[in-house]
Structure formats: C-alpha cells, structure tokens
Structure 1
C-alpha cells in the first residue's frame, strides 16, 4: 500500500476514498429510492455495484492527474514550503467542493429524470440563468449551499486531524517512489479513454440497474462528447435505396405524387381537395403544453379532476386518444411537430447548427399566405428555440432578457413587457400572461386581415410548479397536480376571452403536449410514458369525434391540413390520421440514444450499438417481452430512422426553391 500511496500521496488517498464513499452512498440511495423498479436478483445487484465501482475508479483517475503531475514534478526540497501548502490546501478544498457539488446535483437530477447526468445536464450548463433560478425556486438553495460548504469544511478538518496534511508536508518520498505511484493512475486513464465507454454500463435489460451502474460525472463527460449520433455510423442500417422505397411506399396513395420519384427524397405533392369540399383558411392557434401526460386526463383514469377544461374540450373536438410523443424533451416535441419527422439520434435538430431554412409546417402555412408566430413565456434563447423558429420563418414573441437573435435571421421579435406580466418564475411568465399576449397579437393580425398561425409554448407545468395564487384550489409550488390544474385553468380563461373576439369563429385551436411528465421506467423505452393527448377544437363543419387510431405527434398537422382540404407540396413524414388504414397505424418513440417503432402492440428498439431488439408490449402493465425478431417489421423501423437522418445530413429537409 505504501508503494501505491507513499506519504507524499496521503491526501490523494484521502480524496479517492472520499469520492468512492460518496459514490457508494449515491448508488445505494438510488437503489433504495427505486427498489421496486430494479432487477433485485443477488447476482444482478452485485454486478451493478461491481460495474459501478469500476466506473468510479475510472472517473476518479481523471481527477487525480493534475495533482499527480504536481506531486511528481514538485521538488522534494520544497515540501512543506508556503507555496506547497497554498497549492495543496487550495487543490484539496476545490476538489472536495466539486465532489459535494456533484453529490447534491446527482440527487436533484435523479429526482427530475431518474437518470445519471446525460446530455440534458450538458445543455443546462449553457442556460445558467433558467437553471439556477429553477433550482433556487425548487429547492432551499441557501440551505443546500450552506450544507455543502459545511461538509467541505468538515472534510478538511477531519483529514487534517487524521494527519494527512502533516504526512504530505513532512514526507521524504523521492522521485522514483512518486513515479511508481503515479504510473498506475495514468494507465487507468489511458484504458478509460481508449477502451471504456459509458454504454458499457448498460449490461441489463432493466434501465434502472444500468443507471445505477454508471458514475454521474463519467456520464456527464460521455454526454459532452457524444451529443450527436450520425445514424449510419452507430445504428443498424439497410441499403439506402431500400430504405427510401419502404418509406415512400408508406406515404403513397392515389392523391400523392412524388416530385422526384426516382430520387432518394420524399418531396411530394399532397392533394386533399375534391369537387365537393372547398379549401378553408381559418386562423390556427397551436398550444403546445409542457409535460401534459395522457394519464392526467379523466379519459385515461385520472380521478383528481385536474384537467376539467381539457376533459370538456375532448367531447367537443377531434380528440386523438392513442397518440404518442416522439421524445422526452420540449425540443424533441418541437422537432416532431414542426418538421413532422421521426426522432433523430443525439440532440434534437432544434438545437443543432444546421437547422434553418428547413421545410416545416410553417412553410405549408406560408404557401397559404399565413403570418407565422412563435410565442414563448421565457427567453427563447433557451434551447436554441428562437434561432430555430426565427430561422424557419416565424416571428418571435418572448420574454427576452437581452440575448439577440442570430443577425443572419430576418424576422421580427416582440417582447413581453413588464407591464404585461402578473406572475413570473425561472421559466418565464405564467400561462395566463402568455395567452393574454397571444390575444393581443391576434387582435393586431385580425385588423390586418391576414390569417395567422401561432405556435404557443407554455411553461407553467414545469418545476418549481409555481403559478399565481388564488386561481385554483391547490397552493402554488406544492407539486405537479397543481401545475397541471393551473395549466388547464389558464386554457379555460384563454378560450373564454377568445370567444369574445371577432376572430374566434374563424380560428381553430390545436392543443397537444410536447412530451410526458416522466419518461423514465425500467424498460429501454417505457411506451406508456410517451402517451399524450391531442385535441383539434372549433374546426368548421366537423363533428366531435374520439379517434382511437395509433398515431404519432408528427401526424397531427398533416391531419389538420387535410381537414382544411389543402393541397400543398410537402417534405413531411406525417400522415392523415383520419384516413389511416389499420395496417398503416404506427408511432415513433425515443430518447437521444434509443429509437423505437410501435405498431400492433409490438415495438422495435434500435440503439447505438447496432442492436435491434423486438418486443411485445402489454399496455395493461406497460411491460415489454423480448420476442423473436420480425425481419419485415425491423426493416420498416430502420427505414424510417435511416431516411430521416439521411435527409437531414444531406439537406433533404431544406425548402425546395
């Protein structure tokens, strides 16, 4: 042991020990937290902790390198000098502070996402204002910071009393002994860099066991390096021509014509008009509701009466009962809704650099002469929303805090002014304030006699779940149910005010969630945790109807365009749900690594290790059972994802001039 940790390395030994103890506490806590979801066999639990320990060792090895270099090169003659003490105390204090910061951070991240740090945590580093404010409003931040600093101080005092600092400063360790002690850690770093990947912790079919086996900090840096995953490099593929042929066959009917039938493209003409029904051009207000899971609605068994407005609207609208979100984050929902595309691996297209001049649903509205607006109650700089929407022809209405749009984007930006705000938290103004702004801008558009399409992104159903007091019977900030009920209440007030406007009778309201409130579960992809509601309200000449066809987020606007009897050119993957045949029903689900294709209670899940796992899905208990692969089903799933990625990377999603 003295060769591994000679006296000069005493503090390093203490630091590594502290890290391993904290990591064990985190892993054990998460195990207890989600014990009911785990594979609890002794072998699996043991393997979980063994793999976790190995990842912990790999993680701490990277942290040791700067201090090891210092220890190795600092001359023995100056051991215990003032400069040595300053560097040693500062380095140890900073290192311990990082450990405890990560310790507290892992618990807050797990509470929200039931995962170790991932690409979301990386993104959050960019948007510090919203994240810090959200943490401050969601947790007793002064207490957390005080506790963290107290633990750092206690650790330093304890290590001091145990004599570790004294050993470092009075050491007689020579260069050869230091070199022998240093080499193993450099070897571990080299092995970890060259041969160890975070996905190697995914040893089980149970997602929770896999997450427990990981190390939070290691996962963070793995996500930092791998937030974009070119499909052809990481996923199972079929010949490109076969993939395009399969996808185009799914889009083909007697009224659709591919503009370049022999080319690897899906650009086509959609014909919905007929000799009986004329095309209509109503205004469209789309409300994208933050984190509205289907199971919040009475229709799907909720007994808390937290969505009375939506429950009422569904009986007077086109209500899609069997619709699934494509992803687990707002930007993924925006990608699906605007681009009408299956989810792409890695980060959402909304957050990528090459995301302007794309063929979105906004382009269809433009073909019909509409003004297009994007409303957001916070600063649309967050998650690159303003750049995406502005770069694709939308005017921006948000709560700007000074961040400018990309100068190359030609669009207008309207601020939600202080005088228009009655309540605001970290994520932006409350839904009622946002809707009041929508009404004000709709009045202006109506006066100009130009039809408008408004994409409205809400934020009230988001942690810290705060909203104006006295509006509903659940106190602000007490939990998700209150946020959902306030969100529903705000919709009621919005529609009530809209009904008093001259433009209401000619305005269609589309209400849909961006994603579910929680996507985590024990399976690779928890299917039920992608189930969302969608409503089309106030549609002219359309009887209320509940539609039970399996469909995707990407299909809602192509369905809306069909109800308007619009003919248009399209690069959209989505289909008209109303005319879907039973064998055409399907949905796309995924996260940034896993891509799922759902059909006939079967789901094919693709991952970045070129695996294609085929399951039967039991909706009653949300379980997945691995079954023998259906090759035709597999190739169909692969073709959609392969084509979607190929179109993005080869400018196939761009607007055709």
Structure 2
C-alpha cells in the first residue's frame, strides 16, 4: 500500500510540476502525427490492404514510433525545464519563454506535417533517402518548392494554425511550480527522459514497422520525422554488415559463371577480378552515339505500352522506326541510380548511388571505352552539374561535362530551378556534337533531360497542355523537344552516321502495394539509326545495366570490360535477369521469380506475373537467392575495394 501511495504521490507531484509541459508537448506531437497518419490512409486507401491486423499495426506501431520520435523531439524543452533555477522559472516573464518554446516546436510539427503531405503525394512514402538528398541540395529543392506550391500561403496557414493552438493551450502550459522541485529531484526525472532516446537509439531501427507485405501499410505505421533521421544515419549501407551473405570468394565464383558469355574471356585467374576481353569479329562501326536519358519516363506513358493519353506522339512514332526493347527495367528510383546503371553497367549497391559516393573516380565506364576508341565522350545536362555530384562523377570518369554554364541568357527560352527547357538542352547538344565532329572525332554524348520534373514548367505554345499544369504536360513537352531535336539532326550530314538511344533514368513513381512494385521500374528503350539498325522488336527481359554492352555489341566493338551487364543479342535464352531496388531493398528477377534482400539479413521470394504486374509470396528459392546475393555482394565488395577502377 505504501508503494502505491508513493507512486500516486509522485504522479501528483509530477503533473503539478514544470515537467508536465513535456507531456503536453508529447501529446501535441502524437495528435498531429496521428491526424497525419489518418489523412495519408484516406489518400492511399486504394493501395492499402484493409485488414484488422493491418489497421491495428498501422496505429499501434505508429503510436510506438510517434513516442520514440517524441523522446528526441522534447529534448530542447527538457533541458530548459531541467536546468532553469526556480528563482527564474517562477518569474512572471518566464512564461513568455515557454510560449516561445511551444510556438516554435508547434510550428515545426505543423510545417513538417504539411511537408510530409507533399512528399507522400509525390512518392507514396514517408521521408526516406530522397528527402535526405533534398536537404543537401537546398537551392534546387527550395526553388522547386517555390515554383511548385504557394509557399507564402502555406506558411501563413501554418503560422495561423500554430497561433490558434497556442491560444487554446495557453492555460495548460505550466509556467510556475505549484510544487517546486530541487535541482537534485529535477535531475532524477530528467535522467529518465534522457535515457529513453539513448535506449531507443541503440535498440530500435526503422525496420520495426515493416510487418506487412503491403508497402503502404508499412509506411503508414512509420513516423516521418523519425524516418528522416533514420535515412540520414543509413545513407550508406555496408552490404556485408546488413545483408545476407556468403563467403566473398564464393560470391565471385558464382558471378564469374553468371557474367561469362561466349564473346568474352577472363584475362586473369585472380579470384576477385571480373575483367574480360570482349571480342567481336568484323569491322567496328565508328558511329556517333547520342544517349538520351529522359527524366522520369515510365513505359506506361507511351501508347506503345498501352497508354491512352496520347502524350508521347513523337516517341510512339519513332518506336515503329527503331529497335524497340519492350521489357527493360530500371535499377532504381533516382536519377543518379539510372546514371550509375547507364555509365558503369553495374547492379545497384545498397544506400547511395556510386555517383554520389567518395572514391568514385577513374572507374571502368562506358565513356572510358568510347574514349579508348577515339571518341570524345560528353555528359550534357540542362542544369548545373554540381547537383547530385553529377558533374564531378562524369568529369572524373572519362567524360567532359557540359552544363547550364555553357548557355548564354539569350540562348534560353525558359528555365526553372532544375535547368533549362529541354529544347534548349538539345540545341546545346547539337552544337556540341557538331563541334566534336568538326574536330575530326566521333562523339559519344550522354544527354540528361530535366523538364519532366515538378514543377512541370516549360515554354508556352509548344504543346496543347499549359505549362505548370501536370506531369502529363511535362512528358508531352519532353516528347516534343526530343522530336524537334531528332528532326533537326536528320538534316545534318552526320545524321546517317549517328545512333540515337532513348531510355529513361527511372519511372515517374515508385510507390505501390509491394515494396518493389515491378511495374514501377518498367522503362522504354529505343535505338534509332535508320541507316544502320533495322527497325525491330527485342522482347526479352533486360536490365538498364545491359544497355552499355548491348550498344557496344551493335557497334561491333571489341573492348576490355568490367561491366556486370549483358549484350542481350549475345546472351543465350534463359539467362535474362533484372535488378530493381530502393536504397535498402535489393531485388533480383529471373525465371519469373523475384528475390528481395533486405537489411537484417532478410530474404523473400515472390512469383512474378508480368501480365498483371502482381507479386505472390512463395517458398524460398535457394538457388536464385544465392545468385542474387552473389550479384549484389560482389558488386558492393568490388566498389569498396576499388576493383571497378
């Protein structure tokens, strides 16, 4: 009985002390987080598997992560309450300091809720790796936000709501101690609050809410602010530390079998060396190559792949005159991941793209091979090359970088925060091609577009969808710009000796019911060169990393390769495979099965139905799992040890 009385006395004293303000702030955070969760649930209701277990998990685990986030969030207020002497805390004017604390922290919570809504609307997920990247490139991101949304009105609305909340809570914010505590007693209570986030830091990860096979359910059970800091902590993942693995020597033995094709021979017996001599008989075709990686061009935007929107009229027409690849899949969900796949021809490694990592210089790249063949390799971009480290990466991997800095103001019809309009980018590209050809060299130009990106703005009058309307308008404008470029090139003397390659960097959206929704990685690939490559279809499964070897094969090049990609025309049937990934989940698809490798050494196997784009969990396939581990583990090891150089 005495124990119960002691506890009751302590609780009574606590609720009447200055520490009760912490409970008020925690309640505010949990309330806003729960409202946000409900709004996201309603917005994504069609993608959520509604079951009692899922709904319970969303809100019970959601509350758990809200409270974990609260344990971190209250720390500034905790320290003020803890260390402020009673003689100061009891002053009448001290309440304004508390009001200031609550006003600032409430504003952060409300503003975060609004920001999370826009992020969810764009990506169908809580804050993640993408949000961390956005914090790094604040100029472009803040500019994009200003151009996309009515920021002034949003901020004004948040401030108004913040003030109303503070007015409603003004009498609950305890500004005096009805039961004052000594520093010693305050310290004993503060110690408990401090130990909570420390304990959570070492014992809880952001994988704990991944309880469902439905990706939306798992995201709804998360707390966005907590996910942001978890993503920051995990922006580079060591494969061997976090993923299921086999001995490195075995992974390389397996991959050497998987990579080897009839036209290639290993040049070394060293167990970790994947260097091969690729040999094609006959004369090499020293054709100019223009590789256009199109921002966010999902395959399902094109009528060729079933769209009824009519937003890619030029590309659909070009597809009938091109070598069209119908089953190509991107490796990831970010531009830098697509650039990695297209330039280095390697599977995605967990965490950051190699484009963004340290020690990514002097690697075996597509640009390097063209350079060895006497080409001038160029990376041409309509924005500023420093963004996402693109300029540094390409400049240090055998490309010369041409970006927004090369254009004069009078040469720009339109630009937004991401870069110039695509038609201006292609005018610059044509100039760079002709400059190189005039110097007596063939050119390999890798061009990265920008217009198909929020805020979806472009010059007026080009298409029948007004600028700043929707993604469909941005897609149609990019289609228009590509058409204008190729039509202009067709009148040039060098056109007959040029190969145009059009591929997406990634799809427009990566959200789906599953963690790796396979249809969200399906991208178009067209190779157009009417004088050199007959129009036809290639309907075999193909990864984005296979483009480089396939292109070099079409040119009949012999070269030394460290690529993980296949020349699809030299690959015997049955060996096709693709890689799809987020920054944490690594997918490997072969024989209509998807292996998913995740942190904490997790593995899952799914049956893939490409007709319905559905995934069904099945029993583990140990052979394919071993293959998946070998591809990903060897690639991670090779980069970490400098073996891709």
Question: TM-score normalised by the shorter chain: which range applies?
Answer: over 0.9
Rounded to whole Å, the distance in 1 between the matches of 2:341 and 2:578 is 12
**What residue is the counterpart of 2:291 in the other structure?**
286
- Please say if 1:399 is aligned against 2:404: yes
**Deviation by residue 1:290-344 (Cα, 9 ceiling, x = unmatched):** 0001111112111111111111111111111001000001000001110100110
C-alpha separation between the residues in 2 aligned to 1:539 and 1:191? 65
Does the 8 A contact of 2:14 with 2:20 survive in 1?
no
1:523 aligns with 2:514: yes
Q: Which residue in the other structure is 1:234 paired with?
A: 242
CA-to-aligned-CA distance 1:143-187 (integer Å, 9 cap, x gap): 101111112222222222xx134x313644212653454344223
Counterpart CA distance in 2 for 1:371 and 1:342 is 26
Distance 1:567 1:539, change over 3 A: farther
Asked if structure 2 preserves the Cα contact closer than 8 Å seen for 1:6 and 1:181, the reply is: no
> Is the Cα–Cα contact under 8 Å of residues 397 and 416 in structure 1 kept in the other structure?
no
Kept in 1: contact 2:346–2:564 (CA 8 A): yes
Cα deviations by residue, 1:98-135 (Å, 9 ceiling, x for unpaired): 11121111101101111111111111111111111111
- Contact 1:371-1:451 within 8 A present in 2 as well: yes
1:477-492 equivalences in 2 (<5 Å): 477-492=468-483
1: CA distance, partners of 2:451 / 2:18: 54
Residue correspondence of structure 1 range 8-407 to structure 2 within 5 A: 8-81=18-91, 84-160=94-170, 163-165=171-173, 167-169=174-176, 171-175=178-182, 178-179=186-187, 181-274=189-282, 278-400=283-405
Q: Secondary structure at the match of 1:323?
A: strand
Contact 1:571–1:653 at 8 Å: present in 2 too?
yes
Q: After superposition, where does 1:634-649 map in structure 2 within 5 Å?
A: 634-649=625-640
Distance (whole Å) between structure 2 residues aligned to residue 360 and residue 63 of structure 1 = 45
* Paired position in structure 1 for 2:623: 632
Deviant stretches of 4+, over 6 Å: none
**How far apart, in 1, do the equivalents of 2:530 and 2:275 lie?**
28
Shift of 1:540: 4.3
State how far apart, in whole Å, the 1-side matches of 2:449 and 2:210 are. Answer: 35
Q: 1:41 to 1:254 in 2, by over 3 A?
A: closer
Q: Secondary structure at the match of 1:422?
A: coil
CA distance in 1, matches of 2:258, 2:473: 42
Q: Deviations over 1:559-595 (max 9, x none)?
A: 1111111100111111111222221111111110011
Aligned partners of 2:339 and 2:505 also within 8 Å? yes
Q: How does 1:482-561 map to 2 (within 5 A)?
A: 482-538=473-529, 540-561=531-552
Deviation at 1:10, TM superposition (A): 4.0
Secondary structure of 2:229 counterpart: helix
Deviations 1:338-367 (A, max 9, x none): 010011000111111111111110111011
Show the counterpart of 1:405: none
User: Tell me, what secondary structure is at the counterpart of 1:357?
Assistant: coil
Tell whether 2:407 aligns with 1:416.
Answer: yes
Checking the alignment, whether the CA contact within 8 Å between 2:343 and 2:367 is kept in structure 1 is: yes
Which of 608, 611, 619 is equivalent to 1:620? 611
Matched, 1:445 2:455: no
Query: Please, which of 426, 438, 441 is the counterpart of residue 435 of structure 1?
Result: 426
- In the alignment, the residues of structure 2 paired with residue 617 and residue 594 of structure 1 have an alpha-carbon distance, to the nearest angstrom, of 17
Distance 2:296 2:241 in 1: 32
Cα distance in structure 1, aligned partners of 2:570 and 2:367: 23
Contact 2:365–2:398 at 8 Å: present in 1 too?
no
SS of residue paired to 2:584:
coil
How far residue 261 of structure 1 moved from its aligned partner, in angstroms, is: 2.5
Structure-2 change in CA distance of 1:164 and 1:438 (3 Å): same
So what's the TM-score if we normalise by structure 1? 0.94
- On the 8 A contact 1:468/1:476 being kept in 2, the answer is yes
Question: CA contact under 8 A between 2:378 and 2:444: conserved in structure 1?
Answer: yes
Partner of 2:3: none
Contact 1:6 1:178 in 2 (8 A): no
Partner in structure 1 of residue 4 of structure 2: none
Q: After alignment, is 84-93 or 213-222 more displaced? A: 84-93
Cα distance in 2 between the residues matched to 1:352 and 1:83: 51
For residues 352-393 of structure 1, give each alpha carbon's deviation from its aligned partner in whole angstroms, at most 9, with x where no partner exists.
111111111011101101111111111111111111111112
Secondary structure class of the residue paired with 1:579? coil
SS in 1 for 2:503: strand
Shift of residue 66 of structure 1?
2.4
CA contact (8 A) 1:342 1:641 kept: yes
The equivalent residue for 1:599 is 590
Match of 1:403 in 2: none
Asked if the contact 1:9/1:168 (under 8 Å) is kept, the reply is no
Alpha-carbon separation, structure 2, partners of 1:585 and 1:419: 48
The 2-side partners of 1:172 and 1:190 are apart by 29
* Preserved CA contact (<8 Å) 1:321 1:533: yes
Distance 2:287 2:46 in 1: 50
User: What SS does the aligned partner of 2:237 have?
Assistant: coil
In the comparison of the two structures, how many residue pairs are matched? 634
Instruction: Report the alpha carbon displacement of residue 84 of structure 1 after superposing the two structures with TM.
Output: 3.2
Decide whether the 8 Å contact of 1:10 with 1:164 is kept in 2.
no
Q: Structure 1 CA distance, aligned partners of 2:496 and 2:15?
A: 78
CA contact (8 A) 1:334 1:350 kept: yes
Change in CA separation of 1:3 and 1:282 when aligned onto 2, cut-off 3 Å: farther
Query: How far off its partner does 1:13 sit?
Result: 2.9
Q: Tell me the equivalent position of 2:571.
A: 580
Relative to structure 1, the CA distance from residue 83 to residue 393 in structure 2 (aligned partners, 3 Å threshold; closer, same or farther) is: farther
